[in-house]
A and B are shown apart, each in its own frame.
Chain A
Amino acid sequence: MNRRNTNWKRNGIVVTAIILIAFLIECFGYNQSAIFHANDSITFDLSHQNDTIKIENDEELVPLTEDKIAEIELQKQNDKIVAELNNEEYVEQVDESLVEQDGVLARRVYQTTITLDIGTDYYIKKLHVTYPTDSDLGYGITRMLGGIQDGKSVYDSLNARLGESVTNVNGQADQIIISLSTSQEFTGKNVTVAISNEFHINYCRMLYLIGGMLAIAFLILNKSLFSKRLEFAFIILSLLFGSFMILFDGTNERSWDEQVHYESAYRASFGQMIQYTEAAIQMKGLVVPNYDSIEEKGIVADYLQERNDYSKADLKYQQRFVLYNVRAYLPQSIMLVLARICDLPFSWAYMLGKFGNLLFYTLMMALAIRIAKFGKIYIAAIGLLPTPLFLASVYAYDAFITALVFLGFILWLNEIIDKDKKIKWYIALAMILCFVVGTWSKTIYIVMMLLLCFLPKEKFDDKFKTAFFKVGIVAIVLMLLYTIKSPPITASSGYDAIQTNIQYFGDKRVANTSFVGQIKYIFQNPLIYTKILLRSLKNSAFDYLLGTSTWLLYAYLGRFPKIFAALTSVLILGISLFQTEADRKHILERKWKLLLAVMAFGVACLVWTGLYISYTGVGENYINGVQGRYYIPFILPLMFVFKNNKFKVNISTEMFHKIIFSIIIFINLYGTYVYFLKPLCF
């Protein structure tokens, strides 16, 4: 009891100290300019020019690219055709900004330079531009001190839908020069520029500081979780760093095809009648303004909430039956429903949907860690690396697949280790369901379920039951693989007629793709294709197995520097090769390692081949579209190939796990700060 009281006291002191330190860092670190160089805000109204405001316009002719010229010609032709169809006379639309000069088509662009004289040395923390405009624009801010440029220019963009933008400047100036390009002459009407240096507690930064320090304190002070209950350590860190990503990224759609995944989750959150508010329509159309400062985050949230009126929603109807490729979004959809019930603002509802994905991923992975007889650290480490965690924190189905496939694999592995013990029916059911449900959205991974065909015969009552079980597994795998060619009949009428016409299958985003054409090419040129495949596997091996493309990529937010690839390589190889005493008790026979290696290689070949068929032009000598994240589901089995009892770790399990987690915490703190907090929420 005394010990427990001491622990509570100690933890209380630590938490209080962390909050205090975070507060001090926020005040004296990030707000020091507001404390030591306090200034009142100044607003320049460009509608009323005076001595402090000077606007200069320069005209420039920017030659158009060939693509742009082709686009304009195509539009002219389309306009002619439409006029013909309507029996109208074609009248060419004249774009006055286009000028032909020396035989080259160029666009007239106005380069505007706005010089604002502050009059005194002023520390500019933020610069707020309000400019009602029809088109998005970018601008540069240059600080002048005593007539000389001070520091580098800062660039930002202004989204026409918001009509305002806030830029972090963080520098001293007595004069600011703002340069921008517009298609029409800039007059300054209704345009204001405000500079400020206010003391402002940034709640995102505070949460990061507190959370980051708590994670480090948790690592240092806690013993039992890192030795005996690794799944709880995983849950805490997964939810912490995942929540950071969700909160900081907010409504910015920066993941791969996030608008598509959001729409699927949104639709699945309704019954037969879908209510598309203007905000939801803009999200699925990828036209919602992105933000890159904490003030803009609030402006965008207000913008979306103004457009989240369900009384003005577009109504669409869908079948009640939840399609197979949409079921992976259910954790996200359920949270969207909850958000609607609680009448949350749109931006919070959007984030809550992402949180549903994170929660499901975290719980399934934690369950896998909990039940794994060995190799728990493999699951925890992979699960907490930046890319897998990022995929669990956005609208996507990858995390759903990864979590369930990992869980199914661990259930299988446990059976292999206890080879003399009969398999229980509920374990077999759980294993199969993990693979079947987990691969609904990406059926190619169902081949991993063929591992169940290699369960030893000792697991069953007799050889007949063994045979029938394995035949059943193969039948299920074949049934699901068949859906790649011929999706199951849905309730949406002609859809199945189009879908079964594989003659024209191919990804419309890439020219010259054809499902049937490419399969024919492969069968007609097996050696050529084998060369292409093996070359692709070889060239991408390091990057996709150990490097940044699989583990250190935050989609369109950025990629970690290559030095971090060295860190993840050491991490993944290290935990695969080195075994703690606890893990050394379990021996994985060579035949299983060989099976896992063959399985991983086979799935990799299928992934590349699948994209050659659907995403690459017929007969090309390269394979388009394969991304490192497609390797994640079979990396875990591959790591077990390296399990051995030769490389021993002569430190305690707790210490070994803490070293691994310290690297992971460092990588995540770096990634969250550099790619999320600083560029989006400062």
Chain B
Amino acid sequence: MKDRIIGLLESYGKLIVISGIVIAALGLAVSYVFPNTVINTTDINVIEGSEFSIPLPPNSFVEYQCNSGTKPLNGIQVWISKQGAEFTDGKVIYEVYDSNGTLLGTGEQLLKDVDDPQYVYLPFTNMSECNGVLTIKFYFTGSENAYPALIANKEVEIKDEYASTSVNGKRIEGNLKSSYIYFYHTYPLVFDLKVMLAIFVSVFFTLESKKKQKVIKHYE
């Protein structure tokens, strides 16, 4: 049995090694072309206690100014409270502006799809543009008599990030409870495939050439 296996390995050695090289090379190419997208949540202000609600009646707006850092912000997670009311077409609309006031991205969240309260992930359109100092403006539209609220707490120093919250243009003490959402591209198999490629290429040079094998067999 052992001799049979060794015989097979010796007969098909070149094929196996070259296959290994090809698979590693192809795998590397495919890994780079189809990266793995990973969502990362960075908690900015999630401390429990001293929460309060910022109501969002019609014709009112809340602005949250923040800095996404070096990576584009792919969304924000905030607490939305329906304050016990039922909604049909009511929604929270949010718009993302850069430091010059240019609109970068928008989004909306139907309140009937949200629990009361719920820490909702709000993705932006045009996420790749939402980078640097940003202002996210929240407002409510709907036919109902009720309106939702956003939840904040009394934290004003948020890690090393700059953040401030304003209601109808007036800055308040405290900030929205929030987490920032980032997307990352990762290539988990790349390193393994590089090592695999290096290994099989090295092993390739241990393959005996067919000519020499024939000569050795002849003299044996």
Q: Which positions in A face B, CB cutoff 8 Å?
A: 86-87, 319, 321, 324, 422-426, 428-429, 432-433, 436, 459-461, 465-466, 468-469, 472-473, 475-476, 479-480, 483, 488-494, 496
Which residues in chain B, 195-213, are within 8 Å of chain A measured between CB atoms? 195, 198-209, 212
- B205 touches which of A424, A472, A475, A493 (Cβ 8 Å): A472
Chain A nearest Cβ from B190, distance in angstroms: 7
Further 17 A-B residue pairs, CB within 8 A, beyond A460-B205, A465-B206, A472-B201: A87-B154, A319-B188, A424-B9, A425-B204, A425-B206, A425-B207, A459-B206, A473-B202, A476-B195, A479-B195, A488-B190, A489-B186, A491-B38, A493-B38, A493-B39, A493-B182, A493-B186
Report, nearest first, the 8 A-B pairs whose CB atoms are least far apart. Answer: A472-B202, A488-B191, A493-B40, A493-B184, A321-B188, A465-B205, A469-B205, A428-B206
Interface residues of B in 165-211 (CB under 8 A from A): 182, 184, 186-191, 194-195, 198-209
Given known contacts A86-B50, A469-B205, is B199 in contact with A476 (CB within 8 Å)? yes
Contact A422 B195, beta carbon cutoff 8 Å = no
Q: List 17 A-B contacts (CB under 8 A).
A: A321-B36, A424-B9, A425-B9, A425-B13, A426-B9, A426-B13, A428-B202, A459-B206, A461-B209, A469-B205, A475-B198, A479-B198, A480-B195, A489-B190, A491-B188, A493-B184, A494-B40
Residues of chain A within 8 A (CB-CB) of B101 are none
B10 at the interface (CB under 8 A from A): yes
Q: Give A677 to B179 CA distance when docked, in angstroms.
A: 53
Interface presence of B92 (CB below 8 A): no
How far is the CB of B10 from the nearest CB of chain A, in Å?
7
| Chain B residues positioned under 8 Å from A489 (CB to CB) | 186-188, 190-191
Complex: A324 Cα to B191 Cα, angstroms: 10
A425 touches B188 (CB 8 A): no
A468 touches B191 (CB 8 A): no
Contact, CB under 8 Å: A424 / B10:
yes
Q: Which of B26-61 contact A (CB under 8 A)?
A: 36, 38-40, 42, 49-50
Minimum C-beta distance from A271 to chain B (A)? 15
Given A424-B10, A425-B13; A479-B194 close (CB under 8 Å): yes
By a CB distance below 8 angstroms, the chain B residues around A490 are 186, 188
Q: Point out which of B189, B190, B201, B206 has the most chain A C-beta atoms below 10 A from its C-beta.
A: B206
Q: B residues within 8 A CB of A459?
A: 206
Indicate if the CB atoms of B191 and A432 lie closer than 8 Å.
no
Q: Does B149 contact A (CB under 8 A)?
A: no
Chain B residues, CB < 8 A from A468: 202, 205
Encoded as 1 (CB less than 8 Å from any A CB) or 0, chain B from 115 to 151 comes to 0000000000000000000000000000000000000
- Chain B residues with CB under 8 Å of A491's CB are 36, 38, 186, 188
B17 at the interface (CB under 8 A from A): yes
Q: What residues on B are CB-neighbors of A423 within 8 Å?
A: 206
Taking a contact as CB atoms under 8 Å apart, the answer to whether B38 and A492 are in contact is yes
CB-CB < 8 A to B208: which residues of A? 422, 461
A532 CA to B40 CA in the complex, in Å? 44
CA distance A527 to B190 in the complex (A): 40
Q: Which residues of A contact B206 (CB under 8 A)?
A: 423-425, 428, 459-460, 465, 469
- CB pair A494–B184 under 8 Å, yes or no, is yes
Interfacial residues of chain B within 77-131, with CB under 8 A of chain A in the complex: none
Judge whether B188 and A436 touch: CB under 8 Å: no
Q: Is the interface of A mostly helix, strand, loop or mixed?
A: helix
| Chief secondary structure at chain B's binding surface | mixed
Cβ contacts under 8 Å, B201 to chain A: 472
B157 to chain A, nearest CB (A): 9
With most chain B CB atoms within 10 A of its CB, the pick from A429, A459, A492 is A429
Q: CA A205 – CA B209 in complex, angstroms?
A: 61
B70 nearest in chain A by CB position: A497
CB A126 to nearest CB in B, in angstroms, measures 48
Q: In this complex, what residue of B is CB-closest to A465? A: B205
Say yes or no: A472 contacts B38, CB within 8 Å: no
Q: Which residues of B contact A86 (CB under 8 A)?
A: 49-50
Are A425 and B195 in touch, CB under 8 angstroms?
A: no
B202 engages A476 (CB within 8 Å): yes
Is there contact, CB below 8 Å, between A469 and B187?
A: no
Q: Mark B1-25, 1 if CB is under 8 A from A, else 0.
A: 0000000011001000100000000
Q: Which residues from chain B contact A476 at a C-beta distance below 8 Å?
A: 195, 198-199, 202
- Return chain A residues, CB-CB under 8 Å to B10: 424
> In the assembled complex, which residues on chain A have CB atoms less than 8 Å from the CB atom of B195?
436, 476, 479-480
List the A side residues contacting B187 at CB < 8 Å.
489
Complex CA–CA separation, A607 to B204 (angstroms): 32
A319 x B38 contact (CB < 8 A):
yes
Of A422, A425, A476, A491, most buried by chain B (CB within 10 Å of CB) is: A425
Q: List the B side residues contacting A321 at CB < 8 Å.
A: 36, 188-189
A496 neighbours in B (Cβ, 8 Å): 186
**Shortest beta-carbon distance from B211 to chain A in Å:** 9
Chain A's nearest CB lies how many Å from the CB of B159?
14
Docked complex Cα distance between A387 and B197 (Å): 37
Shortest A471–chain B CB gap in Å is 8
Q: Please state if A432 and B188 are interface contacts (CB–CB under 8 Å).
A: no
Name the A residues within 8 Å of B199 (CB-CB): 429, 432-433, 436, 472, 476
Cross-chain contact A425 with B36 (CB below 8 angstroms): no
Minimum CB–CB distance from A13 to chain B (whole Å) comes to 36
CB-defined contacts of A466 to chain B, threshold 8 Å: 205
State A109–B192 Cα separation when bound (angstroms): 59
Q: In the complex, what's the smallest C-beta–C-beta distance from B18 to chain A, in angstroms? A: 11
Which residue of A is nearest B36, CB measured?
Answer: A491
Chain A nearest Cβ from B45, distance in angstroms: 13
Cα-based distance from A499 to B154 in the complex (angstroms): 33
Q: Return the chain B residue nearest A459 by Cβ.
A: B206
- Pair B17/A425 contact, Cβ less than 8 Å: yes
Residues of A within 8 A of B203 (CB): 425, 428-429, 432
The chain A residue with its CB closest to the CB of B9 is A426
CB neighbours (8 Å) of B204 from chain A are 425
- Set of chain A residues within 8 Å of B202, measured between Cβ atoms: 428, 432, 468-469, 472-473, 475-476
Bound-state Cα–Cα, A428 to B204, Å? 10
Q: Closest B-chain residue to A494, C-beta based?
A: B40
Interface centre among A87, A321, A465, A489 (most CB of B within 10 A): A489
B205: chain A residues at CB < 8 Å are 460, 465-466, 468-469, 472
Q: Which residue of A lies closest to B189 (CB)?
A: A321
Residue of B nearest to A464 (CB): B205
A466 to B206 alpha-carbon distance, docked (Å): 8
The docked-state distance in angstroms from the alpha carbon of A489 to that of B189 is 9
Q: A87 to chain B: which residues have CB within 8 Å?
A: 50, 154
**Shortest beta-carbon distance, B181 to chain A, in Å?**
11
Give the complex CA separation of A425 and B38 in angstroms. 39
Select A461's contact among B17, B188, B198, B212, beta carbons within 8 Å.
B212
**By CB atoms of chain A within 10 A, which of B50, B190, B202 has the most?**
B202
How distant is B146 from chain A, measured CB to nearest CB, in Å? 31
Chain A: CB-nearest residue to B209: A461
Residues of chain A lying within 8 A (CB to CB) of residue B42: 494
Closest to A320 in B: B188
What separation, in Å, do the CA atoms of A86 and B51 have in the docked complex? 11
Query: B188 — which chain A residues lie within 8 A by C-beta?
Result: 319, 321, 489-491
Residues of B within 8 A of A492 (CB): 38, 40, 186
CB distance from A597 to the nearest CB of B (A): 26
CB neighbours of B184 from chain A (8 A): 493-494
CA distance A483 to B207 in the complex (A): 29
Distance to closest chain B CB from A85 (angstroms):
9
Question: Shortest beta-carbon distance, A367 to chain B, in Å?
Answer: 13
Q: Which residue of B lies closest to A469 (CB)?
A: B205
> Closest CB of chain A to B121's CB: distance in Å?
15
Chain A residues within an 8 Å CB radius of B40: 492-494
Shortest CB distance B36–A (Å):
5
Q: Which residues of B contact A433 (CB under 8 A)?
A: 199
